[in-house]
Amino acid sequence: MSDNLLLNRDEGVAVLTLNRPDSLNSLSLQAVKDLLSTLRTLHADESVRALLVTGAGRGFCAGWQLEEGGVPGLPDESFGVRQAHLMAEYFNPVIQAFHDLPFPVVAAVNGPCAGAGVSIALAADIVLAAESAYFMLTFSPRLGLIPDLGATWKLPRLIGWARAQAATLLGDKMSATDAAASGMIWRCLPDVSLLAEATAVVSRLAKGPPGIAREVRHAYHASSNNTLAEQLDYERLRQRELLDSAAFNEGLKAFADKRSPDFYKK
Nearest to 62 by CA among 27, 101, 14, 97: 27
Q: List the beta bridge partners of residue 53.
A: 16, 107
Is residue 21 within 8 Å of residue 58, measured between CB atoms? yes
In contact, 188 and 180? CB cutoff 8 Å: yes
DSSP 207: T
Task: Provide Rg for the chain, Cα atoms.
Answer: 19
CA distance 174 to 117: 14
Cβ atoms of 158 and 137 within 8 Å: the answer is no
pLDDT at 70 over 80: no
Distances (CA, A) of 208 to 48, 65, 142, 191, 255: 12, 37, 42, 27, 15
Is it the case that residue 170 has pLDDT exceeding 70?
Answer: yes
Region 137-158: mean pLDDT is 94
CA–CA distance, 155 with 112 (Å, rounded to integer): 18
Judged against a pLDDT cut of 80, whether residue 11 lies above it is answered with yes
C-alpha–C-alpha distance, residues 181 and 187, integer Å: 9
Residue 90 CA neighbour count, 13 Å, CB half: 20
| Band (69; pLDDT cuts 50, 70, 90) | low
Cα–Cα distance for residue pair 33/25, rounded to 1 Å: 14
Domains along the sequence of the chain with CATH: 5-205 (3.90.226.10), 212-257 (no CATH)
Please give the mean pLDDT across all residues of the chain: 94
Whether the pTM exceeds 0.85: the reply is: yes
H or E segment and range at residue 176 = helix 176-182
Residue 67 — very low, low, confident or very high, per pLDDT cuts 50/70/90? low
